[in-house]
């Protein structure tokens, strides 16, 4: 992860087979509570230009709303975008549009049970990963899936870096399922948690921002030995 750089624009470079290998690596080596892996990873490939534009628009609308300026129409969204362009403030997540691969991570209800899990359930064990939407157990499982998604994304990233593939993470997006009801997103049945981009970077955030002006909290503020 020391090679992580936030990508502002991706190259139009084919990395398809390597991406699949990186995903396979993350699937194999990411731990999961009781082996449920109660999340989905939807991969938009190089030809998914329209969906990528739609994701960018959702993120742009989310940013404006978070800043106190809700936008309801596409015309108002384009006006907002033009204003950002004129002031040279296009958001970093515009890289969605150039990313060869866009990964959408969502929660998932585990509906296929292996024999060991079934044996435990027959003996009275209850697994929150199997409960449907609208239940307290579902909510508890969704919190768990967020942790596991983070581990999967980190493992995927590390394997990408080994293959000279760059990644970026995006959280400025609507997470309510109601915001993804258009026909283009009929495969999304649970709330999105994270968006990750992958490809070969052309330009990077650190090219334009002095890293000394945007520092993490120091080690001692985060890690505390007792």
pLDDT digits (tens, 9 = 90+) for 18-42: 999 999 999 999 999 999 999 999 9
Q: pLDDT-based confidence at 17, cuts 50/70/90? A: confident
DSSP code at position 226: -
pLDDT at residue 159 above 90? yes
- By C-alpha distance, which of 213, 218, 172, 166 is closest to 195? 172
Q: Which of 155, 167, 164 is nearest to 198 (CA)?
A: 167
Residue indicated by tokens 């404006």: 64
59-85 pLDDT, tens digit per residue, is 999 999 999 999 989 999 999 999 999
Q: Are strands 192-199 and 7-10 parallel, antiparallel or unpaired?
A: unpaired
Strand arrangement, sheet containing 166-170? 39-44, 101-107, 192-199, 166-170
pLDDT at 179 over 90: yes
Backbone dihedral region for residue 134 (phi beyond 0: left; psi -120 to 50: alpha; all else: beta):
left
Closest CA to 58 of 99, 66, 126: 66
Q: How far is CA 29 from CA 21, 24, 34, 159, in A?
A: 12, 9, 14, 11
The per-residue pLDDT for 174 is 94
Which pLDDT score is estimated for 187?
97
Q: What is the pLDDT of residue 160?
A: 97
Quick one: pLDDT at residue 181? 94
Q: What pLDDT is attached to residue 213? A: 87
Rounded mean pLDDT, 101-114: 96
pLDDT digits (tens, 9 = 90+) for 89-100: 999 999 999 999
Cα atoms in the 13 Å half-sphere on the side-chain side of 185: 21
DSSP letter (8 states) at residue 176: S
Q: What is the pLDDT of residue 13?
A: 86
Whole-model pTM: value is: 0.94
Check pLDDT > 90 for residue 212. no
Q: Determine whether 141 is exposed, middle or buried from the number of CB atoms within 10 Å of its CB (0-12, 13-18, 19+).
A: buried
Partnered with residue 192 across adjacent β-strands are 106
CA separation for the pair 215, 222 (Å, rounded) = 13
Average pLDDT over residues 147-162: 97
- Distances in Å between the alpha carbon of 47 and those of 26, 53, 69, 98, 156? 23, 12, 32, 11, 21
- DSSP code at position 215: P
On the question of pLDDT at 1 being above 90, the answer is no
Mean pLDDT of all residues in the chain?
95
* Domain coordinates in residue numbering, the chain: 7-222
Using pLDDT thresholds of 50, 70 and 90, give the confidence band for residue 154: very high
Give the number of residues written for the chain: 226
pLDDT at 215 over 90: no
Domain boundaries 7-222, corresponding CATH code: 3.40.109.10
């Amino acid at each position: 992860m020391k090679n992580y750089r936030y990508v502002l624009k991706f190259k139009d470079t084919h990395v398809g087979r390597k991406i699949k290998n990186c995903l396979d690596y993350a699937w194999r080596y990411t731990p999961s509570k009781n082996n449920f892996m109660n999340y989905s990873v939807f991969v938009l490939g190089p030809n998914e230009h329209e969906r990528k534009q739609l994701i960018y628009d959702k993120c742009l609308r989310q940013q404006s709303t978070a800043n106190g300026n809700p936008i309801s129409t596409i015309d108002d969204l384009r006006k907002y975008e033009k204003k950002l362009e004129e002031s040279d403030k296009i958001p970093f997540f515009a890289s969605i549009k150039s990313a060869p691969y866009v990964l959408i991570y969502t929660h998932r209800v585990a509906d296929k049970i292996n024999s060991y899990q079934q044996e435990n359930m027959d003996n009275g064990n209850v697994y929150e990963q199997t409960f449907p939407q609208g239940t307290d157990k579902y909510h508890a499982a969704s919190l768990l899936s967020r942790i596991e998604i983070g581990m999967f994304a980190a493992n995927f990233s590390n394997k990408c870096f080994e293959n000279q593939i760059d990644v970026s993470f995006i959280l400025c997006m609507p997470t309510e399922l109601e915001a993804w009801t258009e026909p283009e997103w009929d495969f999304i049945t649970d709330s999105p948690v994270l968006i990750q981009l992958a490809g070969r970077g052309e330009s990077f955030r650190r090219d334009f921002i002095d890293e000394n002006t945007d520092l993490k909290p120091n080690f001692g503020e985060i890690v505390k030995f007792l």
